[in-house]
Structure 1
Amino acid sequence: MSTINYSEKIPNNVNLSEDRTLQRALEGWQPNFINWWDDVGPEGSTNYDVYLRTAVSVDPQGWAQFGHVKMRDYRWGIFLNPGDANREIHFGDHKGEKAWQDVPGEHRANLRRIIVTQGDTEPASVEQQRHLGLTAPSMYDLRNLFQINVEEGRHLWAMVYLLQKHFGRDGREEADALLQRTSGDENNPRILGAFNEKTPDWLSFFMFTYFTDRDGKFQLAALSESAFDPLARTTKFMLTEEAHHMFVGESGVSRVIARTCQVMNELKTDDVNKIRAAGAIDLPTIQRYLNFHYSVTIDLFGADQSSNAAIFYSSGLKGRYEEGKRDDDHVLKGQTYKVLEVQNGQLVEKEVPMLNALNEVLRDDFIKDSVAGVNRWNKVIEKAGIPFRLQVPHKAFNRQIGALAGIRMSPDGRVVGEVEWEAKKAEWLPTPDDRAFVASLMGRVVEPGKFANWITPPVMGINRQPVDFEYVRFA
């Protein structure tokens, strides 16, 4: 087997060349990763030269180097944010002690589980997005899709590095298993539900990158507080890349809305059939897609009451979002938090120990952040003078996990019976007809500077390049 030159093939700041055992483990894993990429990565893209951002170090000059590269030859690197030898644990039962450089034996199983669950989401989204390149609305959008794909691949490398470096044989087996599960596979699916959903069209993709990558932001931010220093430093660096994924989602939906509003104003109508006949995606359909992706994503935060969440926090394994900015004791014993449940057909708030409600705390932080972006979409509609507003549904709507699982709830937060749910479901969630209509618009547009009819061009290109730059060179 050929030896990997780590300074070229795998840019890193973890001294890989000095750790022979780790080198051998990664040399064994890398060919499997490339095989996985070839089998279920972006379809038909092997010979494309794509204008990609590659991280080669963590400093501002090094983490975003741009140039045309074949994705299969992308330099998937391993980077940890710079360390602080004096860093202390700042929450939980170990508050005030020195951060851990190695995995404490008593936390080994839980830390491994956290890293595997996070790691599993990264290749899953590449698999979910495998076919989207065949229906890209522009070369600019195709490039953004591919940038996200290679960065999800790099995030997988980041988690595999932690498993291989700190968890011995168990870690090597888990690293292999990350390439054996497949999104949506009946026999060996991905760990979390949202990562087994299909991403069949670009409206789904933009909603996914807006909402589901935002879940990634909050999960990574909570892990970046960890007492296990290598995990904290790894996830902090991953957050720099996650920002672009959310930008693709937010700006993508915004551009879809802008085009719809243009068509509505040109035709002077809000008639859904006329808007669709003109090749634009009507606002009620965008609302239904929003409802679906939002509700699927907030399930990713887990049950509203969780003893695991309490254990992870008290042990110092996973903090809250922006833990350091919160003005409490960072131990949380004796503190409470409100969660929702249904009693006698009514939604009620209930005070529970905050330690057990930390999934809900993170979910509520996510909701606040999500609403801010939806408000920015509404400004586009408002500017066009159209009296329609997008809204996130109530957090109990369409839930499959926790105390609210299976409760029939309208988007505005009313508990409804089965009859009303069945009657109104087609107003609230995407129907097969909606999906078929959106799919019918998905034709490939890859001439530089040209865009599909259902979306507007972006205001500016990537890395100060013009919008009509040749972002992808086809073989």
Structure 2
Amino acid sequence: MTGINYSEKIPNNVNLAEDRTLQRALEQWQPNFLGWWGDMGPEGSHQYDVYLRTATSVDPQGWAQFGHVKMPDYRWGIFLNPKEEGRKIHFGDHAGEDAWQDVPGEHRANLRRIIVTQGDTEPASVEQQRHLGLTAPSMYDLRNLFQVNVEEGRHLWAMVYLLHKYFGRDGREEADALLQRNSGDADNPRILGAFNERTPDWLSFYMFTYFTDRDGKFQLSALAESGFDPLARTTKFMLTEEAHHMFVGESGVSRVIQRTCEVMNQLKTDDPAKIRAAGVVDLPTLQRYLNFHYSVTIDLFGADESSNAATFYTSGLKGRYEEGKRTDDHRLKSETYKVLEVRDGQLAEKDVPMLNGLNEVLRDDYIKDSMAGVGRWNKVIEKAGIPFRLTVPHKAFNRQIGTLAGVRVSPEGRVVSQAEWDAKKDQWLATPDDRAFVASLMGRVVEPGKFANWIAPPVMGINRQPVDFEYVRFG
């Protein structure tokens, strides 16, 4: 990379061309990244020309440049939102002080941990989705998958920039380790459990991008409040791209539902066996997939009571979702929040100090947001005249983290015995048979404008292009 035009090869607004130390660090890291992309990125895709959106600056004209590009040549840029002069920390013990432009020594370990954990999720999801291109239901969907993949790659670059720029040797070692862990690896797995789950089919992919990328939205929004200004500015820009990932998920599930409803009305039946025989996903199976992905994702917010969450907030490292719109004192020393526990065999609420309950605050904000999209899916079913509604399970359902870990709770929120759980879990969570059936529907469709039988076409194409545009050229 010596002598290269940095603004061209790595679009950035962090003055990379003038920063020799950072250049040297990235010159060593970039070949490893490209090696990881070659080994663990989208399988078989390296020679495709894909109609991708590339960020070349943070202004409205520059952050979404569209054109066909080979993914290994994609320009993974480094962008921070414009600096807000005089920005103050607006929560925690440092409220009212100037935002930090460098890492305060006493918060160094915690900040590094936050950045590494966020950074680890980005390549993990690329690894989870690695084989999906081989079974894409359309060229349009294949392009959307690849767009999500390259943007997760760019979000990895964003976190690696912070590690290299602000954390010295420790940061360089952590940046290297981000490429050494692999999703689902028995010896060196990804940090968070949801990112070691397989994403074996497109229904899982749509559920993942709807539910799990929405966790990303809320985590990034909380970090966008950070008193460490470079982290806040980096995550604010990442949020512009995260919105597309959630759109892919919400619209994908919506199109699956639409196609199922069309077939149900054509056949005048709601019998899952007959629906499946017609080659579409029955609504009860969609519900079981929803229950699984939702419950796995809400575990990502962590334990319902957490001293780490309290420390991150009081230190000014991580705020709440939309912290600035809240009307309390932004210190929370005397505030409480309700969390769940099991009392006398029933779920019951108890008050805990809000500082310790901040994971639950963020989880509850996420749940409200998730339910809104499920409501939009139900409108598709309602419009088709079918008396079935998808529901979001109770937040205590199928939990593996915190006070509720291992407590057996039905989707309606009733504590059940292990025997009842064992008898009914196949009604509540996707079974091996469900997954085998969905896998049997997966077959590659790549003729422009054609779609697999189990999913409806989108209403419109990407960037005002027609639905039958050649989004991927196979070369």
Under a length normalisation based on structure 1, what TM-score does the superposition of the two structures give? Answer: 1.00
Matches within 5 A, 1:123-138: 123-138=123-138
Q: Distance in 2 between matches of 1:132 and 1:84?
A: 40
Deviations 1:184-205, CA, capped at 9 Å, x for gaps: 0000000000000000000000
Match of 2:273 in 1: 273
Match of 1:194 in 2: 194
Residue 31, structure 1, aligned to residue 31, structure 2: yes
Match of 1:370 in 2: 370
Q: What is the SS of the residue equivalent to 2:347?
A: strand
Matches within 5 A, 1:173-184: 173-184=173-184
Match of 2:236 in 1: 236
Match of 2:384 in 1: 384
Q: Contact 1:258–1:380 (CA<8 Å) still a contact in 2?
A: yes
Q: Distance in 2 between matches of 1:246 and 1:469?
A: 22
Q: What is the SS of the residue equivalent to 2:13?
A: coil
Match of 1:418 in 2: 418
Q: Contact 1:80–1:234 (CA<8 Å) still a contact in 2?
A: yes
Q: Contact 1:3–1:27 (CA<8 Å) still a contact in 2?
A: no
Under a length normalisation based on structure 2, what TM-score does the superposition of the two structures give? Answer: 1.00
Q: What is the SS of the residue equivalent to 2:350?
A: strand
How has the CA–CA distance of structure 1 residues 378 and 172 changed in structure 2, closer, same or farther, with 3 Å as cutoff?
same
Q: Distance in 1 between matches of 2:36 and 2:309?
A: 32
Deviations 1:344-389, CA, capped at 9 Å, x for gaps: 2111100000000000000000000000000000000000000000
Identity of aligned residues (%): 86
Letter in 1 for 2:214: R
Match of 2:437 in 1: 437
Q: What is the SS of the residue equivalent to 2:222?
A: helix
Consecutive aligned runs of 4 or more in structure 1 exceeding 3 Å deviation: 1-4
Deviations 1:69-117, CA, capped at 9 Å, x for gaps: 0000000000000001200000000000000000000000000000000
Residue 283, structure 1, aligned to residue 283, structure 2: yes
Match of 1:146 in 2: 146
Deviation at 1:257, TM superposition (A): 0.1
Q: Distance in 1 between matches of 2:460 and 2:84?
A: 38
Matches within 5 A, 1:225-264: 225-264=225-264
Q: Distance in 2 between matches of 1:18 and 1:154?
A: 21
Residue 49, structure 1, aligned to residue 22, structure 2: no
Stretches of structure 2 that go unaligned for 5 or more consecutive residues are none
Q: Contact 1:305–1:357 (CA<8 Å) still a contact in 2?
A: yes
Stretches of structure 1 that go unaligned for 5 or more consecutive residues are none
Match of 1:40 in 2: 40
Match of 1:58 in 2: 58
Match of 2:458 in 1: 458
Letter in 2 for 1:52: L
Aligned residues: 475
Match of 1:312 in 2: 312
Deviation at 1:5, TM superposition (A): 2.3
Letter in 1 for 2:434: D
Q: Contact 1:4–1:27 (CA<8 Å) still a contact in 2?
A: no
Q: What is the SS of the residue equivalent to 2:341?
A: strand
Letter in 2 for 1:186: A
Deviations 1:292-325, CA, capped at 9 Å, x for gaps: 0000000000000000000000000000000000
Deviation at 1:24, TM superposition (A): 0.2
Q: What is the SS of the residue equivalent to 1:280?
A: coil
Match of 2:341 in 1: 341
Deviations 1:239-291, CA, capped at 9 Å, x for gaps: 00000000000000000000000000000000000000000100000000000
Letter in 1 for 2:312: F
Q: What is the SS of the residue equivalent to 1:187?
A: coil
Q: Contact 1:164–1:171 (CA<8 Å) still a contact in 2?
A: yes
Residue 119, structure 1, aligned to residue 154, structure 2: no
Deviation at 1:8, TM superposition (A): 1.1
Q: What is the SS of the residue equivalent to 1:349?
A: strand
Deviation at 1:7, TM superposition (A): 1.2
Q: Contact 1:49–1:68 (CA<8 Å) still a contact in 2?
A: yes
Q: Distance in 2 between matches of 1:356 and 1:7?
A: 44
Q: Contact 1:135–1:445 (CA<8 Å) still a contact in 2?
A: yes
Q: Distance in 2 between matches of 1:250 and 1:397?
A: 22
Q: What is the SS of the residue equivalent to 1:25?
A: helix
Letter in 1 for 2:315: S
Q: What is the SS of the residue equivalent to 1:8?
A: helix
Q: Distance in 2 between matches of 1:198 and 1:50?
A: 25
Q: Distance in 2 between matches of 1:5 and 1:28?
A: 16
Deviation at 1:227, TM superposition (A): 0.2
Deviation at 1:3, TM superposition (A): 4.1
Match of 1:472 in 2: 472
Deviation at 1:39, TM superposition (A): 0.2
Letter in 2 for 1:287: Q
Q: Distance in 2 between matches of 1:10 and 1:71?
A: 14
Deviation at 1:4, TM superposition (A): 3.8
Q: Distance in 2 between matches of 1:210 and 1:36?
A: 26
Match of 1:73 in 2: 73
Q: What RMSD in Å do the two structures reach over aligned CA positions?
A: 0.5
Letter in 2 for 1:64: A
Q: Distance in 1 between matches of 2:191 and 2:409?
A: 26
Q: What is the SS of the residue equivalent to 1:154?
A: helix
Q: What is the SS of the residue equivalent to 2:188?
A: coil
Residue 219, structure 1, aligned to residue 222, structure 2: no
